[in-house]
Amino acid sequence: MVSVGVDAGSRAIKIVLLDTGSREVVASGIVAQGVGCNDLANDLLRDLMERSGLGPGDVTRVVATGYARNMIDFADTTVTEITCHARGVHRVAPNAATVVEIGGQDSKLLRLGPGGSVRDFSMNDRCAAGTGRFLEVVADRLGVALDGLGPMAARSQRPASISSTCIVFAETEIIGLLSTGTSPDDIVAGVQNSIAIRIAAMAGRGVVAPVVFTGGVAIVPGMDRALESALGCPVSIAPNPQFTGALGAAIMAAA
């Protein structure tokens, strides 16, 4: 028997199947978000179940989380992504005290209590300049793949200063920097630093280590180093960082 966690994010849908008895991960999968979110999630779940030799009768409970969680009609209940990321990170990094989660549309800083509970949190969901969408815009503007941003930032000798707090104005600022001869490497490094500085501002009174970085942006090379510099402490990337929300949802489904 398996419990199912569905993280219907703004950029991708992630699903984790968890053995209800052993609480071990049976399977996981990801698909790009798009029109027909519920159908995409259904198809992904069906594929994971078939590949695992499971049928509909083997599912005990389904919990959905994420930006589009209310669109998942086969979920038994929904839980906020804040709670699910906290539970998921606690599972893979039990000593984590602070979680930084940066997704496609928002970013969060969570302070954890015992058992992966959430003491408090800060969230930026009003401007894409502190999210993965900013990196996507930069990659498109520079004509590179998203996974190519890390090597560019690593080559930077003098990271650019990106001062705009709105992604629209930030893009205009980037165009201006390019026109004045600023290297793309320095622009990418500046954007990564800008995102990290916004996270540090959300931390307010500071962060408590260990700090674990999760969400889709955690797989972009160089972002962990930018966060370390802005937060002033080591930052570790969660194993399979795109799946911590779905993992947390599956854990709650198994409870």
Q: Please state the φ and ψ torsions of residue 169, each to the nearest 5 degrees.
A: -70, -30
Task: Let me know whether 115 and 162 are in one domain.
Answer: yes
Q: What burial class does residue 50 get, using C-beta atoms within 10 Å of its C-beta: 0-12 exposed, 13-18 middle, 19+ buried?
A: exposed
Q: What pLDDT sits at residue 164? A: 63
**Contact indicator for 18, 26 with CB cutoff of 8 Å:** yes
CATH code for the domain of 101: 3.30.420.40
- Count up the domains in the chain and report the number: 2
Range of the domain at 204: 95-237
Task: Let me know whether 125 and 191 are in one domain.
Answer: yes
The string of pLDDT tens digits covering residues 195-209 is: 898 899 888 767 899
DSSP 120: E
For the chain, the first-to-last Cα distance in angstroms comes to 13
Instruction: State which residues of the chain have pLDDT below 70.
Output: 125-130, 164-168, 205
Task: Let me know whether 158 and 231 are in one domain.
Answer: yes
3 state SS of 138? helix
Task: Let me know whether 112 and 158 are in one domain.
Answer: yes
Task: Let me know whether 101 and 131 are in one domain.
Answer: yes
The string of pLDDT tens digits covering residues 156-185 is: 999 998 876 666 677 788 889 988 999 999
Q: Please state the φ and ψ torsions of residue 99, each to the nearest 5 degrees.
A: -120, 130
Task: Let me know whether 178 and 101 are in one domain.
Answer: yes
